[in-house]
Chains A and B, each alone.
Chain A
Amino acid sequence: DAKTTQPNSMESNEEEPVHLPCNHSTISGTDYIHWYRQLPSQGPEYVIHGLTSNVNNRMASLAIAEDRKSSTLILHRATLRDAAVYYCILRDVIVSGTYKYIFGTGTRLKVLA
């Protein structure tokens, strides 16, 4: 299984940008990079995903290094509601058309008012 490495925790001030790093040095050419977050007492929810190019959506941006061995999730303006555990995941291809998602321990983001 492809592995990811994330810092255990990070802090940010409210209304400021947050950059959450993820290392995935063993990534293969077909692995998509997915980010999920888990709010307190809830199930994980999808944030964003990408393959090679940087991606933007209404929740966040994903910056992918040129060699794809690392990526960064960017929250442009952190709010108190963004306090959660953020997981960086490589979607593991088992065989064509079948995948599994292996979660690590994630980064616990604390947002300070």
Chain B
Amino acid sequence: GAGVSQSPRYKVTKRGQDVALRCDPISGHVSLYWYRQALGQGPEFLTYFNYEAQQDKSGLPNDRFSAERPEGSISTLTIQRTEQRDSAMYRCASSLALTNTGELFFGEGSRLTVL
């Protein structure tokens, strides 16, 4: 596609349910990043992939959060046993990487609300 696509755009779930957020990066982009953004705050780094390899997951808050990118393209961020504090905008970004530019292209985000 022309840009980074995220789905769903909005997700409301009950506490304790699992959710899966999907990111479809720009075709050909090697690197994929997940961020979480609370209202009024800057994006908080969660994890990062080059191709299918997860290069850094130091930002994942706890073991309820996981991410995968099995074929080096689409990525899924999964939150198990959701809690109210998980409510936020989850943003995905991709970049060509391996270049000095490394410009990130962000998607529209997935807004998660945990009741």
Q: Is A94 an interface residue (CB 8 A)?
A: yes
**Cβ of B56 and Cβ of A100 under 8 Å apart?**
yes
Q: Chain A CB within 10 Å — which of B42, B91, B101 has the most?
A: B42
**Cβ of B109 and Cβ of A43 under 8 Å apart?**
yes
Cα(A105)–Cα(B101), bound, Å: 22
Cα(A105)–Cα(B91), bound, Å: 16
Complex interface: chain B residues within 8 A of A98 (CB): 31, 48, 50, 55-56, 97
A87 touching B42 in the complex, CB below 8 Å, given contacts A45-B106, A97-B98, A100-B56: yes
Counting contact residues on chain B (CB < 8 A from A), the size range is 20 to 34
Nearest-neighbour CB distance to chain B for A90, whole angstroms, equals 12
The one of B102, B108, B109 that contacts A32, using a Cβ cutoff of 8 Å = B102
A94 touching B55 in the complex, CB below 8 Å, given contacts A85-B42, A103-B43, A104-B42: yes
Q: Please name the residue on chain A nearest to B109 by beta carbon.
A: A43
Complex interface: chain B residues within 8 A of A102 (CB): 45
Q: Is B18 an interface residue (CB 8 A)?
A: no
Counting contact residues on chain A (CB < 8 A from B), the size range is 20 to 34
Cα(A99)–Cα(B94), bound, Å: 12
Q: Please name the residue on chain B nearest to A98 by beta carbon.
A: B55
The one of B41, B104, B107 that contacts A36, using a Cβ cutoff of 8 Å = B104
Query: Which residues of chain B (2-46) have a CB below 8 Å from chain A?
Result: 31, 33, 35, 41-45
Cα(A94)–Cα(B100), bound, Å: 14
Q: Chain A CB within 10 Å — which of B31, B100, B103, B108 has the most?
A: B103
Q: Chain A CB within 10 Å — which of B31, B44, B98, B102 has the most?
A: B102
> Chain A: residues with CB nearer than 8 A to chain B?
32, 34, 36, 42-46, 49, 51, 85, 87, 91, 94, 97-106
> Chain B: residues with CB nearer than 8 A to chain A?
31, 33, 35, 41-45, 48, 50, 55-56, 91, 93, 97-98, 100-109
A-B pairs with lowest CB-CB distance, top 7 = A43-B106, A103-B42, A46-B103, A103-B43, A98-B55, A105-B42, A44-B106
